[in-house]
Structure 1
Amino acid sequence: MAVICVDELASDGGVVTIRPPGPADRPALDTLRFLIAPGGDRLTLVAHDGPDLVGAAACARLGHGGRTAEFASFIADEHHGRGIGTLLMEHLAARARRAGITELIGDVPDRAEQLRPLLAPRSIVVIGAGPRHGGAGHETLRALRDYGFDGRLHAVNPAGRPVCGVPAHRGVSDLPEAADLAVIAVRADLVPAALKEAGQCGVRSAIVLSKGFGTNGPVSRQRRAEILQIAREQGLRLLGPSSIGVISTDPRNRLNACLSPARPPVGGLAVASDSGAVGIALLADAARGGCGISNFVSLGEKLDIDENDLIAHWYDDPATRAVALSLESIRDPERFARVVQALGRRKPVLAVTRAGALLEQAGVICATSIGEMLDAARMLIGQPPPPGSRMAIVGNGGGLTAIAADTAEAAGFTLLPLTSQTRRQVPRSRDNPVDLGIDAGPETIASAAETVANSGEVDALLLMIVGTRANCPIAIMTALGKVVDNHPDIAIAAVLTGGNDGILTFGARSAPVYPEAERAVRALAHAHRYAVWRRRARRPRNRLR
């Protein structure tokens, strides 16, 4: 049988060949200390750059006929950061799927571990942090200090004078120790020298905030090529240029090296944006809407670190429960779709992007606006997506309840009549939608919601609440929070109008509260479509032949 070879484009523009190993590869594999997974039921691929073996990946099925396989990968040191590990894993995963393997477990140190100095650094140096308020370096240093970064923080400026109470030095080489992360905020023509000095002093990751790299002119192209080459030579990962920074809300390592003025709440949504302006708008919307963030990464020009690196990192990140992407461009949409499909089987992936049709096939929840994407993310974090289309509406919304019912049916939900047994337990024996009247109190509304949720007749429950001078929206939402907590297997959302705008969630699992029924129904519809896709994506495939 002929060996199938595929030529792929690495992130630096070079071409690598992906193929199964041959007899001549064995000595090179031993030289690279790559351990082939034991067992007869295994798949192995190698990557060649010309005649040189630069990487390998293998997986071995766990158990006879099992659908899970353990994988391992290795990339030669001098070829780290070229995206070869991702290419190998994409091809390995595709072959594994054809062999009936639906889940690969293991570690990818070439991708995920390399982002730890970026997203969880123990020490940071801000290069270009001067005394002038409004400067990118000054404001980033102040954001780090004010947000509570508890690692070691240093500034570098020509005068070597402290900034914002943070000790400063004239150069990175003057630091008492090597920093994990360098934030570079100097003129574009000074970036190469700053990046090279940082790498020579042991810095492992860098964020370049500087502008002046984004046009297609010869000067910009030369600058991009120069700093990318420096990053490769120094073995550090590069974010940007033209990034606005990163945020991590992990209480164990609070990090705000970002120019956005918004401080989003702690939560389970990881966000990446290649546009700084869109990133700022997204963070502001998340803060207003109470959408909790685990990480925010501004990709900028994506010379090195891109969306594929972040997906690899977030795949196993326990703090990240869903991923949101705002991407103006994707280097290779088809390849990205394969990678993001694997993540989508484990965690919801949402996106605002022009490549919507392709990504929807890969299970990505594609939205038309930032607000729509965040609404869906709030629905999906902390509660299950509705597996079916059966919806019930309960509340005191009067005409708003009827409008919500029409909106839900237009979105594809079915509002079935309640069974006679359930209807007898509902106050006033109301049917679906259950409108209890504007004068219904917290106990009445909560009792009706509990009865419907406990009936087994619905996949999603929408609560329509209207606040007036004569009732107490806070008391109503508190009572309904107990219903949410009693039913972790049901997707529940609320619409609150005329009440306290500060009520954004309810229940211990922080079920979302929306100001309009249309937004709540649209978010539930996105969640339902994701549940349908994931169920289909997890169907067993043919076994290895």
Structure 2
Amino acid sequence: MENYPAEWEADVVLRDGGTAHLRPIVPADAEALSKMHEAQSPESVYLRFFAPLPRLPKRDLDRFVTVDYRDRVAMIMLVGSDIIGVGRFDKISATSAEVAFNIADAHQGRGIGSILLEHLAAAARDLGIRKFTAEVLPQNRPMLQVFQAAGYEVSRGFDDGVVAVNFDIDPTARSIEVQASREHRAEALSVRTVLHPTSVVVIGASRKRKSTGHLLIRNITSAKFTGDLWVVHPEADQIAGVQAYPSLGDLPGKADLAVIAVPAESATEVVQECAAHGVKAVLVISSGFAETGDEGAELQRRMVATSRAYGMRVVGPNSFGLVNEAADVSLNASLAPFLPDSGSLGLFSQSGALGTALLSAAKNRGLGISTFVSAGNRADMSGNDVLQYWEEDPDTKTVGLYLESIGNPRKFSRIARRVSRVKPIIVIKSDLTGRELPPGHIVRTSSLAPNTLDQVLGQAGVIRADTIHQLFDLAQVFSTQSLPAGRRVGVIGNSAAMATLLVQRSRSEGLHVEAEPVSLHPEVDAERFRTELDAMYARDDIDSVIVTFTPSAGAEEAEIAAHLSEAAARSQKTTVACFLGIHGVKDELTTYLTDDEGARVSRTVPSYVGPEDAVWALARATDYSRWRAADHGRFLEIEDLDDKGVRSIIESALSDARPGTPVRLERSDTRALLSCYGIEVLPYITAASVEEGLAAAEEIGYPVALKAVTNVLRHRMELGGVRLNIDSPEELREDFTAIQRIIRQVIGDSDPLVDVQTMAPHGVPCVIRAGEDPLLGPLLSFSLAGDTTELLGDVSHRVAPLTDREAGDMIKSIKASPRLFGYRGLPPMNIDPLGNVLERLSVLVERHPQIRELVIHPMVATETEGHVLSARIDLLLDPTRIDSTRRLLS
């Protein structure tokens, strides 16, 4: 259909965890809309139309389903082919529209109105509309609540028996917070539906013992699943001792979770059958989808679209399975024939093979898990979804993720930023830019350096591990120990060489070894070791303890281990150990205590094969503890941000733009746009001749700087494109002529232009970039100006929005930052103006995704203030931000 805005389509998660499909209305929806209307109660019809209307007249029906997607917009929400909600707006002025909703009676209370409002508001903003109005009957409290609870500043008026509602639809801090909270609750609940089934059906199992389906059934039964387990098979009476039924319609009840192991080409048909029989979620073990090529990708797309349209979540395809060790569930719907014990570690893996390795490593180290999810091709349920669940799950204390790709890194960062404040997140990921993907993973790519997302993860408090080995080294600390209170470490053992190695390694990892290490005789007896342990734990200048013991003719290792576990448990200081022959979380280093409520609890000291592993894990746990305890600052709250002015400049510049083609903003418009956000560019006048240059200098006042108006030479002092500290007409005449000559030689411009600019005070020139990255969304970068910085990649990156603390950390984190703080006797510069500009730009690019790239080059930091000397802005007509101001499954 002409002008149909396909980009407005979305799959969404409802308040109860179910899914639905949202899209713009089309004329072919007339019959479904009429069906929905006729199923409504008389009261619902009256609240929507202010009159009894048992059937929609054809004229009205045609008008409702025929819109132009500009002045008249309508969106519907569907489950299957049934419309369960409608939202629409009609333009009443250039910047305002009247909005209305109608939610099916059978689906009231599922949050449909709130989601429709978010999507309508996003579409309206795309069309230049900034305000919604609505007329609502006073008794229609649910609809009034939708407006009030959305987080906008709503004004009401009462006239002629109707409540008139008005509100601006620009996102506010409150509306963004409300949206994130609703998204979190809905997605957490949708994952809970998958991980806490009360009934499971396996589809596609054969009677062959070595088949995938047969193995799945055996694993589910051996784990003693607490719910009902059924099998669908057209011929067998039972498989692996479990009752089989010919079809889903023959089951004795509804299945919460369907485990599918059928060929890929049959999967969509099976999913449709699951939808018809009320299945809530599907786990697709089968392969043969996107990992095999375009044909498989299309099969995968159809299967997922069908599942979401009927309210079901999909794990997989090409999944290794999922596990929930909770006592009231006990589900092993995976291909793993063995499981770790129940514990507090949540594991997520995209790779099936690596999923096996993760479970095996956890079991070998004695680490218990709470849940395990293998996403396979990650066609629907992702690590972001499972993080939402783990944030609420009381059984999960630590999160471990193996990620082959991140489909929505901005959302991951946003969620992780919140989860990391209460639970540590450890991530293994080799390539984070989207350029090196395993088969079956379809994500956007970023041109940024590979370390960019490392910095973004660090901003969110996420801990990066390079290997599975490191993930579990760190998980051992988090699963058994309290967080380190500080960086001060004590070292004790019966090997002087090992003690020296531990001290050196600790210092290289950023830990502080201020207390003299206690190096006992190799054949020390148990009582002496115990006395020294107690003395070390009693010290106030030690936050964590590293203990090493090498067996000898002296004390028995088991005796020392018992003393250590008891002393560590009593002190509650973070402790790691290196005991030969003990690797992981083992009984030998476990003691049992009675807690305040009289319950018997275990306390274990984790042991490592080598000192490097122990120190690395302790150092990363300490870094995380300090991040979690730190004040992360506050987001910018400034009244002088003129978003209307910014929108006007952007819309004017993009009025004739072509989709996908960047538009360079005129320099005068760039200055005006930055001024809307309180950022002023140092005055300059562009001159085409020496005479104009002299006049400009007289107007501005000497001393001045001259800069070539061409990207090739503009910041290249070494190529003669910049001349500084010109304090006389004679000097200006000479330098102006020289720059014009160089421009003609380098780029062949017969009419070269030169900027005459106020000379900034002496300081440190810096470069600030902000804009929309295809993978990460609104991103900021900071560095010092100069070739050395560019060659060495000494650049810091953060995603927007930034707090004041994050802006400051961004500046301090580059390796060349000492130049800003008094390096080698230089005066320290005032970095507050730099931080303020970073904060303002983070809000700017967060609110205006059309800004593809904004570059301030340079901004000079001086001892007292900062000066923006030059800036450029590139715009893009059709930005497609992954994590936008509307909730959707991506």
TM superposition score category, shorter chain reference? 0.7 to 0.9
Deviation at 1:409, TM superposition (A): 1.7
Q: Which residue of 2 aligns with 1:3?
A: none
How many angstroms apart in 2 are the aligned matches of 1:193 and 1:466?
62
Q: Aligned in 2, Cα 1:175/1:29: closer, same or farther, shift over 3 Å?
A: closer
Q: Which residue of 2 aligns with 1:47?
A: 119
Q: Per-residue CA shift, 1:51-96, capped at 9, x if unaligned?
A: 7999989588xxxxxxxxxxxxxxxxxxxxxxxxxxx9x9968955
Q: Which residue of 1 aligns with 2:291?
A: 215
Q: Aligned in 2, Cα 1:312/1:325: closer, same or farther, shift over 3 Å?
A: same
How many angstroms apart in 1 are the aligned matches of 2:260 and 2:403?
23
**Structure 2 residue identity aligned to 1:495:** C
Deviation at 1:215, TM superposition (A): 3.2
Q: Aligned with 2:402: secondary structure?
A: strand
Q: Which residue of 2 aligns with 1:529?
A: 623
Deviation at 1:331, TM superposition (A): 0.9
| Stretch moving more, 521-530 or 436-445 | 436-445
Alignment of 1:52-451 (within 5 A): 108-215=184-291, 217-353=293-429, 354-355=431-432, 356-357=453-454, 358-417=456-515, 432-451=516-535
TM-score by length of 1: 0.79
Judge conservation of contact 1:494–1:520 (CA < 8 Å) in 2: yes
How many angstroms apart in 2 are the aligned matches of 1:228 and 1:374?
33
Judge conservation of contact 1:466–1:499 (CA < 8 Å) in 2: no
Q: Aligned in 2, Cα 1:107/1:242: closer, same or farther, shift over 3 Å?
A: closer
**Structure 1 residue identity aligned to 2:614:** A
**Structure 2 residue identity aligned to 1:515:** V
Greater length-normalized contact order (CA 8 Å, ≥ 6 residues apart): 1
Q: Aligned with 2:291: secondary structure?
A: coil
**Structure 1 residue identity aligned to 2:482:** P
**Structure 1 residue identity aligned to 2:403:** L
How many angstroms apart in 2 are the aligned matches of 1:262 and 1:34?
39
Q: Aligned in 2, Cα 1:25/1:343: closer, same or farther, shift over 3 Å?
A: farther
Judge conservation of contact 1:269–1:324 (CA < 8 Å) in 2: yes
How many angstroms apart in 2 are the aligned matches of 1:500 and 1:212?
39
The answer on 1:465 being equivalent to 2:537 is no
Q: Aligned with 2:389: secondary structure?
A: helix
Q: Which residue of 2 aligns with 1:492?
A: 575
Judge conservation of contact 1:46–1:56 (CA < 8 Å) in 2: no
Q: Aligned with 2:322: secondary structure?
A: strand
Q: Per-residue CA shift, 1:76-124, capped at 9, x if unaligned?
A: xxxxxxxxxxxx9x9968955xxxx9xx978944211122231111111
Q: Aligned with 1:494: secondary structure?
A: strand
How many angstroms apart in 2 are the aligned matches of 1:482 and 1:57?
56
* Larger Rg belongs to: 2
**Structure 2 residue identity aligned to 1:506:** T
Q: Aligned in 2, Cα 1:33/1:290: closer, same or farther, shift over 3 Å?
A: closer
Judge conservation of contact 2:583–2:607 (CA < 8 Å) in 1: no
Q: Which residue of 1 aligns with 2:607?
A: 513
Q: Aligned with 1:112: secondary structure?
A: helix
Judge conservation of contact 1:345–1:538 (CA < 8 Å) in 2: no
Q: Aligned in 2, Cα 1:164/1:189: closer, same or farther, shift over 3 Å?
A: same
Deviation at 1:352, TM superposition (A): 0.6
Q: Aligned with 1:47: secondary structure?
A: helix
Q: Aligned with 2:345: secondary structure?
A: strand
Deviation at 1:440, TM superposition (A): 2.2
Calculate percent identity across the aligned residue pairs.
28
Q: Aligned in 2, Cα 1:205/1:121: closer, same or farther, shift over 3 Å?
A: same
Judge conservation of contact 1:473–1:499 (CA < 8 Å) in 2: no
| Stretch moving more, 508-517 or 518-527 | 508-517
Q: Aligned in 2, Cα 1:339/1:498: closer, same or farther, shift over 3 Å?
A: closer
Deviation at 1:160, TM superposition (A): 2.8
Q: Which residue of 2 aligns with 1:81?
A: none
Gaps of 5+ in 1: 1-6, 36-44, 61-87, 418-431
Q: Aligned with 2:522: secondary structure?
A: coil
Q: Aligned in 2, Cα 1:195/1:455: closer, same or farther, shift over 3 Å?
A: same
Q: Per-residue CA shift, 1:187-220, capped at 9, x if unaligned?
A: 1112112211122111101100000002363321
Q: Aligned with 1:512: secondary structure?
A: coil
Q: Aligned with 1:247: secondary structure?
A: strand
Q: Per-residue CA shift, 1:211-260, capped at 9, x if unaligned?
A: 00023633212211211122023211110100010011112211111112
How many angstroms apart in 1 are the aligned matches of 2:485 and 2:509?
15
How many angstroms apart in 2 are the aligned matches of 1:395 and 1:207?
50
Q: Aligned with 1:315: secondary structure?
A: helix
Judge conservation of contact 2:484–2:543 (CA < 8 Å) in 1: yes
Deviation at 1:154, TM superposition (A): 0.9
Deviation at 1:332, TM superposition (A): 2.1
Judge conservation of contact 2:583–2:606 (CA < 8 Å) in 1: no
Gaps of 5+ in 2: 1-6, 13-20, 25-72, 74-88, 90-94, 112-116, 126-131, 133-142, 152-168, 433-452, 592-601, 640-890
**Structure 2 residue identity aligned to 1:46:** E
Q: Aligned with 1:509: secondary structure?
A: strand
Q: Aligned with 1:462: secondary structure?
A: strand
**Structure 2 residue identity aligned to 1:124:** V
How many angstroms apart in 1 are the aligned matches of 2:563 and 2:101?
66
Q: Which residue of 1 aligns with 2:101?
A: 28
| Stretch moving more, 203-212 or 247-256 | 247-256
Q: Aligned in 2, Cα 1:11/1:196: closer, same or farther, shift over 3 Å?
A: closer
**Structure 2 residue identity aligned to 1:527:** A
- Tell me the number of residue pairs that the alignment of Structure 1 and Structure 2 aligns: 481
Q: Aligned in 2, Cα 1:453/1:124: closer, same or farther, shift over 3 Å?
A: same
Deviation at 1:532, TM superposition (A): 2.1
Q: Aligned with 1:458: secondary structure?
A: coil
Deviation at 1:14, TM superposition (A): 8.4
How many angstroms apart in 2 are the aligned matches of 1:498 and 1:33?
58
**Structure 1 residue identity aligned to 2:211:** G
Q: Aligned in 2, Cα 1:92/1:134: closer, same or farther, shift over 3 Å?
A: farther
Judge conservation of contact 1:286–1:292 (CA < 8 Å) in 2: yes
Judge conservation of contact 1:262–1:280 (CA < 8 Å) in 2: no
**Structure 1 residue identity aligned to 2:535:** T
Deviation at 1:391, TM superposition (A): 0.4
How many angstroms apart in 2 are the aligned matches of 1:94 and 1:441?
65
Q: Aligned in 2, Cα 1:487/1:95: closer, same or farther, shift over 3 Å?
A: farther
Q: Aligned with 2:231: secondary structure?
A: strand
Q: Aligned with 1:145: secondary structure?
A: helix
Q: Which residue of 1 aligns with 2:17?
A: none
RMSD: 3.6
Q: Per-residue CA shift, 1:359-383, capped at 9, x if unaligned?
A: 1222110011011011111112243
How many angstroms apart in 1 are the aligned matches of 2:577 and 2:502?
11
Q: Per-residue CA shift, 1:27-66, capped at 9, x if unaligned?
A: 539997699xxxxxxxxx8333757999989588xxxxxx
Q: Aligned with 1:388: secondary structure?
A: coil
How many angstroms apart in 1 are the aligned matches of 2:638 and 2:363?
48
